[in-house]
């Protein structure tokens, strides 16, 4: 049978084609339906939600740091101000590789390579949207150089900012302090809402103690950005209709210090080339008139940004310029405590106004052979309490010390504020030490070391041994002598001012417990003897007080840095400069109406009356208006 098969089945092909067309049409309709539904959802149902998100991507909130408060001296002269400068900043969220970016910036000398670890940690510790300051002040050459390289550094840019500036630099370094770049520990301790956009904070001195007042509160502004996150100008309609209202920052309060800038600069000049400290204050208010530590440093180095190597150089300096000797330095006070010790001796009956002692140049405790030497080898001859203070006779105080007893010495000196913090409004104050039997029992583990010996009391009577005080404590105790027992807490801020309203708030003097005496006439006894120290016929500082147009009272002190054996003589010329005696001096003036009290220490200055006393005289002359008195 011959079977013929058709070459093409047109009917089957048509049915297949129609089926495919229908299937394709259904699939396309489904897809179109999905798109339409999605468009309806986006454009109608979720319109407000996505419109808000779109606007949020377009508008960015940028923190506006507050203007830091200014600092003035008592006459309204600027001690700390803010100057415009360009800072190099990095926004972590806009930088893909922070390490690589920092390395490349260091190669361009826009940042210091030693600072890279700190900057890396800083950029990772805070919010990623918050700018991190890489360089606090760019010079013109750096700005021009970076402008060319800017496309290579997304997320890095320079911005105009206000930078702290100290017009008088070294003269006010330890009194005012300085600001420095925020560290990771600062970020952990500070309120992030207040410090948004801020790159610096107070580190020492007034800048640190009054940080909360000086800083102010941050504001914010809304800016329009393009798809790449860069700011673009906003149309006026956008700003009026779309952008939320900005919040202006609140500037920090202005501070007015009790510091007298002229006195501060004079004290700095007097200590030039030396190590030491000067503290001057008003005895009747506790206001600090001058607070200087030498050698000083330039606080502007910290304000504009200091490299790690520069900071290490300062920190490792053998003379320790960053150390505030005025409030943190603790020294044996030497004979400067003798006026307070004389008060204790008279009050306790350990001596009286008629008692006289023959000073042969040394003192020996009963049943011992050790000689406690007087500063004057040949001795002072017969002396009473007036002579002992005027001539600074050590033997007289050696004799009366054990009659007073170490615990009563501790008690009386403590009443004058020695051995404890004064409460001054500057950070970092140290308490010093006035020893007692209880202190020694607690300070040592070995029972034999816990016992207090008579010889130790003898040494304490001339302000040596375990005893330590700060120059600030000596100044406040001198002020207590000047006021005859009336005590005030020292303070350096006299007022603060609201920068918006101009309203000024004065700080009030803080009264402390008075030094009460059973016999008030003892004040006159001691003060008259201190006057004779400077203006008496045999006073140890008569060369300094001679010819002054006003009456002054003072007391010198010379403190051994190392012990000299019994059979050895102290020869200043033969020993290293850093092993020479410390020179101290306390003074106040005028005697009848005290207006200023001063304490000075010159490390390794050898003689209190020869080296430290002239500084006290110069400061008192300046403050009392007798600048040319000593010329």
Q: What is the pLDDT of residues 180-239, one digit of tens each?
A: 877 777 777 777 777 777 778 889 999 999 999 999 888 777 666 654 455 555 554 454
Can you give the pLDDT at residue 574? Answer: 62
Confidence band for 150, pLDDT divided at 50, 70 and 90: confident
Decide if 582 is inside a domain.
yes
Q: SS3 for 425-474, per residue?
A: CCCCCCCCECCCHHHHHHHCCCHHHHCCCHHHHHHHCCCCCCCEECHHHH
In this predicted structure, the answer to whether residue 79 has a pLDDT above a threshold of 60 is yes
541 prior amide bond cis, ω within 30? no
Span 74-91, average pLDDT: 89
Residue 13 lies in a domain: no
**CA dist., res. 503 & res. 493, Å (int):** 16
Same domain, yes or no: 76 and 125: yes
- Of 257, 289, 310, the last residue of a domain is 257
Q: Mean pLDDT lowest for which of 386-390, 538-542, 603-607?
A: 603-607
Q: Which residue has the higher pLDDT, 604 or 38?
A: 604
**Higher pLDDT among residues 352 and 64, named by residue:** 352
- What is the crossing angle of helices 116-125 and 98-107, to 10°? 150
According to DSSP, the β-strands at 71-72 and 254-257 are parallel
Residue 126 lies in a domain: yes
pLDDT band at 5 (very low <50, low <70, confident <90, very high): low
- For residues 208 and 279, membership in a common domain is answered with no
What value does the mean pLDDT take over residues 449-457? 93
Residues 218, 171, single domain; the answer is yes
Task: Assess whether 247 and 287 both reside in one domain.
Answer: no
CB contact at 8 A, 164 and 199: no
**Three-state SS at 37:** helix
Examine the residue annotation and report whether 307 is marked as an active-site residue of this protein.
Answer: no
What mean pLDDT is predicted for residues 52-77?
A: 77
State which H helix or E strand residue 329 sits in: none
- Considering the domain architecture, whether residues 127 and 153 belong to the same structural domain is answered as yes
User: What is the average per-residue pLDDT within 525-537?
Assistant: 95
307/460: higher pLDDT: 460
As a whole number of Å, the end-to-end CA separation of the chain is: 151
Using alpha carbons only, give the angle 150, 156, 161 rounded to the nearest 5 degrees.
Answer: 105
146 and 67 housed in the same domain: yes
pLDDT cut 70: percent of the chain above it: 88
The yes-or-no verdict on residue 117 having pLDDT over 90 is no
CATH number for the domain spanning 484: value is: 3.40.710.10
Domain encompassing residue 194: 61-257
Question: Does a structural domain hold residue 341?
Answer: yes
> What dihedral do alpha carbons 304, 132, 182, 213 form, nearest 10°?
90
Same domain, 347 and 223: no
Task: Out of 72-76, 393-397, 580-584, pick the least confident.
Answer: 580-584
Number of domains observed in the structure of the chain: 2
Average pLDDT of the residues in 559-582:
66
Q: Is 145 exposed, middle or buried (0-12, 13-18, 19+ CB in 10 A)?
A: middle
Backbone angles phi, psi at 421, to 5 degrees: -65, 145
Q: Is the residue at 573 inside a domain?
A: yes
Rounded to whole angstroms, the Cα distance separating 375 from 93 reads 70
Give the CATH number for residue 212: 3.90.1310.10
Taking residues 291-312, report their average pLDDT.
86
Lowest mean pLDDT among 37-46, 71-80, 367-376: 37-46
Q: Is residue 345 one of the residues assigned to a domain?
A: yes
What is the pLDDT confidence band of residue 4, given thresholds at 50, 70 and 90? low
pLDDT at 50: 58
What pLDDT is attached to residue 47?
65
| Last residue in a domain, options 257, 290, 308 | 257
* Mean pLDDT within 266-278: 95
Are the CB atoms for 539 and 552 separated by under 8 Å?
no
* Residues 515 and 618 reside in one and the same domain: yes
Asked if 215 and 68 touch (Cβ cutoff 8 Å), the reply is: yes
25 in a structural domain: no
Whole-number pLDDT of residue 242:
53
The three-state secondary structure class of 495 is strand
Identified catalytic residue from 199, 258, 335, 609: 335
Predicted confidence (pLDDT) at residue 240 exceeds the cutoff of 50: no
**Alpha-carbon distance 494 to 256, whole Å?**
6
In a domain, 534, yes or no: yes
Which of the given ranges, 146-150, 302-306, 554-558, has the highest pLDDT on average? 554-558
Q: Tell me: do 518 and 457 sit in the same domain.
A: yes
Q: Is the pLDDT of residue 275 over 50?
A: yes
Query: What's the pLDDT at 562?
Result: 57
Write out pLDDT tens, residues 244-261: 566 778 899 999 999 999
- For residues 211 and 280, state if they share a domain: no
Query: How high is the mean pLDDT of the chain?
Result: 86
Residues 191 and 286 in one domain: no
Phi and psi at residue 26, to the nearest 5°: -65, -45
Residues 210 and 236 reside in one and the same domain? yes
Angle 530-532-537 from CA coordinates, rounded to 5°? 155
Task: Report how far residue 349's alpha carbon sits from residue 403's, in angstroms, rounded to the nearest whole number.
Answer: 8
Most confident range, picked from 86-95, 288-297, 552-561? 288-297
Which region among 226-230, 332-336, 415-419, 461-465 has the lowest average model confidence (pLDDT)? 226-230
């Amino acid at each position: 049978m011959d079977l013929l098969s058709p070459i093409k089945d047109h009917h089957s092909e048509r049915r297949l084609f129609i089926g495919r067309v229908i299937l394709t049409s259904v699939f396309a309709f489904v897809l179109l339906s999905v798109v339409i539904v999605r468009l309806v959802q986006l454009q109608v149902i979720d319109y407000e939600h996505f419109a808000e998100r779109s606007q949020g991507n377009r508008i960015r909130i940028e923190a506006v740091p507050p203007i830091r408060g200014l600092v003035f001296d008592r006459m309204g002269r600027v001690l700390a101000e803010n100057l415009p400068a360009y800072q190099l900043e990095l926004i972590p969220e806009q930088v893909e590789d922070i390490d690589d970016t920092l390395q490349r910036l260091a190669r361009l000398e826009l940042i210091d390579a030693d600072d890279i670890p700190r900057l890396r940690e800083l950029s990772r510790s805070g919010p990623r949207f918050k700018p991190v300051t890489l360089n606090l002040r760019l010079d013109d050459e750096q700005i021009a150089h970076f402008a060319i390289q800017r496309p290579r550094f997304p997320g890095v840019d320079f911005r105009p900012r206000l930078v702290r500036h100290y017009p008088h630099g070294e003269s006010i370094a330890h009194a005012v302090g300085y600001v420095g770049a925020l560290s990771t520990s600062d970020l952990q301790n500070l309120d992030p809402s207040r410090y948004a956009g801020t790159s610096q904070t107070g580190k020492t001195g007034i800048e640190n103690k009054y940080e909360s007042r000086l800083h102010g509160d941050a504001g914010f502004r809304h800016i329009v950005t393009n798809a790449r996150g860069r700011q673009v100008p906003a149309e006026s309609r956008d700003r009026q209709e779309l952008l939320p209202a900005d919040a202006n920052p609140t500037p920090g309060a202005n501070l007015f210090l009790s510091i007298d800038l002229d006195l501060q600069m004079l004290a700095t000049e007097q200590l030039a080339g030396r190590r030491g400290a000067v503290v001057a204050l008003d005895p009747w208010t506790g206001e600090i008139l001058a607070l200087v530590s030498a050698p000083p440093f330039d606080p502007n180095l910290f304000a504009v940004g200091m490299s790690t190597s520069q900071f290490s150089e300062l920190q490792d300096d053998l003379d320790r310029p960053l150390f505030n000797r005025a409030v943190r330095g603790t020294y044996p006070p030497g004979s400067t405590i003798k006026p307070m010790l004389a008060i204790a001796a008279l009050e306790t009956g350990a001596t009286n106004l008629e008692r006289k002692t023959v000073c042969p140049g040394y003192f020996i405790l009963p049943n011992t052979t050790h000689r406690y030497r007087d500063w004057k080898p040949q001795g002072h001859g017969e002396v009473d309490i007036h002579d002992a203070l005027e001539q600074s006779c050590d033997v007289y105080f050696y004799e009366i010390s054990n009659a007073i007893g170490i615990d009563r010495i501790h008690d009386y000196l403590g009443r004058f504020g020695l051995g404890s913090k004064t409460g001054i409004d500057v950070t970092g104050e140290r308490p010093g030490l006035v020893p007692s039997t209880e202190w020694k029992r607690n300070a040592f583990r070995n029972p034999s070391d816990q016992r207090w010996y008579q010889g130790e009391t003898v040494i304490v009577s001339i302000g040596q041994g375990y005893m330590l005080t700060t120059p600030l404590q000596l100044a406040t105790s001198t002020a207590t002598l000047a006021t005859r027992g009336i005590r005030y807490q020292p303070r350096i801020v006299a007022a603060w001012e609201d920068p918006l309203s101009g309203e000024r708030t004065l700080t009030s003097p803080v009264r402390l417990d008075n030094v009460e005496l059973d016999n008030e006439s003892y004040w006159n006894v001691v003060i008259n003897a201190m006057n004779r120290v400077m203006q008496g016929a045999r006073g140890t500082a008569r060369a300094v007080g001679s010819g002054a147009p006003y009456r002054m009272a003072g007391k010198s002190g010379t403190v051994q840095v190392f012990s000299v054996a019994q059979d050895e003589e102290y020869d200043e010329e033969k020993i290293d400069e850093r092993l020479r005696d410390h020179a101290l001096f306390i003074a106040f003036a005028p005697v009848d109406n005290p207006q200023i009290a001063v304490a000075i220490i010159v490390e390794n200055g050898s003689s209190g009356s020869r080296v430290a006393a002239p500084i006290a005289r110069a400061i008192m002359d300046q403050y009392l208006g007798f600048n040319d008195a000593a010329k």
